[in-house]
Structure 1
């Protein structure tokens, strides 16, 4: 059995000091939003509680589906680079970026370069290069193939959309097919939900139909995403049966907000091609914000 854990939307805090020059961009809207709304409910100690509880479940691997920072300032990106080794090694943790990790022009390259060891495919160069495509990437861990995709792009103020383009779709299909032929359980990680109506228009993923075609053509067993800060299960057409598309609340969301409190998913994967068994357990923060408890069990 292989145990895969899933968290998302870390939004590592606290928000560092931001210069006037850094605020002279889309960051001004995020800065205001943080102080008006997110600061009240996104707590660093909540993330610590989540990770401590998760460690007790002893997962074989951890998937983090984006939004590790808030405004993608250099200080935030550097803080995440220091934080990731506390969570796990690049061998045991895989990440994909979210829209906050590409918040302004140039931030995507900076965050990808800083966190590259955690999103480097097994066959990719050892060092990040400016001219290469990091995504999609393929990592094989035990019977599981982790395919990391990116929808992270810089957007105008008041927009948080993502993009899944033709090149990435073609390469993802190839990775999925190869993993399927190797008899692996295929998990696709992406930040934006690839589901129509899962979020508002200004936060949607552009290329949803393209992604759905990628899954039905290449084949997959599970899709993990973040972005909405909601605990959800949707479905996409697969080659043999529908593919579960699973979202999770922000790993830093404290109790009392209008979004669900922090949590994580655990997927226990066993079986073989054509007869995979997946048990999903979702753990959520208790109302007092001091611990997590089992909130939902689903078998796929």
Structure 2
């Protein structure tokens, strides 16, 4: 029997993203086809980038009423595809995986999604201090034959990063955890990303990142299991899917936030947000996504 509460159009868009990551080369994957948001919807995605934090369930309840959406089993390093949602305010709660609906959440926050925007919400930090950052994404097309690239740091706390595309732009100096470089227009080709890491566990890191013409890319700096760092390249949009970012992005319930420029993420209120925004799809496997009645416990 068909579930009357399902939104097939939304669920079809919550396909998992596979990102190829090799020791010496990163090739950013293309995202599934997705139309630009109209005036009556927003694009959102989220990522669990908090090292040492276990899987979590995410609940998103619209202020306007209706059943919550529940996403179960979100794992570390998972980053979603963009998904369209209705603009408006939502209560977002994050609980340990398998916890009951009436249990105390690890974080609970109010978010307000503006129409016509593209927004990323990433959790950074570690199990001792999870923090959320909100970024307004610029998915507008780069010049013909070029790509746009930025870097976001989700490195270890206390680490500062100087980043450069060798033979191209400096992506930024002294990039702190939870901050991002601006977007840069670059040639469509293989680039060597060179990182100088200072502070805790100072090190140098060099990887190859491949970008294609017309694409928009985010390169994430993440802790690895050995205590070092790794890079993960994500294709935010490919040529036919780019669109202009509009509006003011996300508020967190504590007053209006200015749009996040590319140089710094806007911090979320609360304990930090594995998913202050949350139509999340796992890159690590198939997730059980279902809508549940608000009064179900």
State if a TM-score over 0.5 links the two structures: no
TM-score, normalising length from structure 2?
0.26
More relative contact order, 1 or 2 (CA 8 Å, 6+ apart) = 2
The structure with the largest helix share of the pair is 1
TM-score, normalising length from structure 1?
0.26
The structure with the largest strand share of the pair is 2
